[in-house]
Chain A
Amino acid sequence: NAGVTQTPKFQVLKTGQSMTLQCAQDMNHEYMSWYRQDPGMGLRLIHYSVGAGITDQGEVPNGYNVSRSTTEDFPLRLLSAAPSQTSVYFCASSYSQSETYRGRKGYTFGSGTRLTVV
């Protein structure tokens, strides 16, 4: 089925370890983004990309890196994990910012990665 695929679904890291959260979509969406969701905080934007080779920071980018070498993939890298990065991470995509503006389908979200840093 077409959609946004995130891996892994669960991960436990030790403080200081690094890892990459994977996100892939097969809908030829130009726009991709990463959010974190914490209890009582709602969804907060980490990084986003409007197309291959183009990325930008969101509201809470510190401690995270991204790259977009293909249209399909948008991995999120944690450089040196900290307990404050314990959260649920969601990847979201849409055709383009303008398509979202015309309200076709809003964002398509993945099922999330639950990360615990101990």
Chain B
Amino acid sequence: EDQVTQSPEALRLQEGESSSLNCSYTVSGLRGLFWYRQDPGKGPEFLFTLYSAGEEKEKERLKATLTKKESFLHITAPKPEDSATYLCAVRWSGGSYIPTFGRGTSLIVHP
């Protein structure tokens, strides 16, 4: 059983069509939930860190939120340049403080 699960695996949106990506985790003792963006052929790029339930972070059209067992990455009025794979990683006290990554959500935004 995966400790970090991302859904959906793939998402296709029209430009301007807002939606959310989900990251759920089963571990206890959260010490940080991280969101990364990965463009094809490139390494992941850090977006946000969340630490406690209720916390929110924003960057341009992206907003990350955290509850006790999941995080959402909300994309408001997306543009084609938001197309990428979005990765979630969870760091917890029982995992040697090394983040475990989910499998990612591939987002395609059509013009």
Contacts and interface: CB of A to CB of B under 8 A. Distances in A.
A94 to B, nearest CB: 9
Interface stretch (A11-19, A62-70, A73-81, A96-104): A96-104
B75 interface: no
A103 B103 contact: no
Given A97-B97, A103-B51, A109 B43 contact: yes
A101 B101 contact: no
A2 interface: no
Contacts of B47: 106
B98 A45 contact: yes
A95 interface: no
A110 B51 CA distance: 25
A103 B99 CA distance: 12
A90 B99 CA distance: 15
Interface of A: 4, 33, 35, 40-45, 48, 58, 90, 92, 97, 100-101, 103, 105-112
Interface of B: 31-32, 34, 36, 41-47, 49, 51, 87, 89, 91, 97-99, 101-104
